[in-house]
Amino acid sequence: MTEGTTRRTVLSTGAAALVTPVVACGGTTAPSDTSVALGPTSDIPEGGGKVFKDQKVVVTQPKKGDFKAFSAICTHQGCTVDKVADGTIDCPCHGSKFHVADGSVAHGPAARPLPAKSIKVEKNSIRLT
């Protein structure tokens, strides 16, 4: 540092130099689509549902055209539910069952409902959002 240069001047200039490239590389304003295609609505039976193990989600259709999505992770001990039958989402580990309409507990030992997930139904396609 020279006699006229202070530590504060050097630090201020260095900080400004570091921030400028970050501001110049700002993100785009276009929205990015982070949704995941799950499949056609025809794959989800009325009164039943389908487990998507890779996405850890179960999609149900309690009544015609009314699609719901829930976490496929059982709230009892974290097992993945494996089927939808007779109006319930079933966990193979300890026998918990959840209602297809709202994810609430139909039969324990689970005490908490399956958390809802966000899906988008467009035309005949279901996307996890």
The 3-state secondary structure of 71-95 reads ECECCCCCCECCEEECCEEECCCCC
Is 14 among the domain residues?
no
**Helix or strand or coil: residue 42?**
helix
pTM (two decimals): 0.74
**Structurally, how many domains does the chain consist of?**
1
Is 103 among the domain residues?
yes
Phi-psi group of 86: left, alpha or beta (phi > 0 → left; psi -120 to 50 → alpha; rest → beta): left
pLDDT mean over 11-31? 52
Q: pLDDT at position 60, please?
A: 98
Q: CATH number, domain at 79?
A: 2.102.10.10
How many alpha carbons fall within 13 Å on the CB side of residue 76? 19
Q: pLDDT at position 30, please?
A: 52
Q: pLDDT at position 22, please?
A: 47
Q: pLDDT at position 13, please?
A: 56
- Residue 48: give the domain boundaries: 36-128
Q: How far is CA 38 from CA 31, 43, 58, 111, in A?
A: 21, 10, 10, 28
**44-97 pLDDT tens trace:** 999 999 999 999 999 999 999 999 999 999 999 999 999 999 999 999 999 999
Is 19 among the domain residues?
no
Radius of gyration from C-alpha coordinates of the chain:
25
Residue 34: band (very low, low, confident or very high) from pLDDT cuts 50, 70, 90: confident
pLDDT mean over 98-121? 97
Is 119 among the domain residues?
yes
Q: pLDDT at position 79, please?
A: 97
Is 66 among the domain residues?
yes
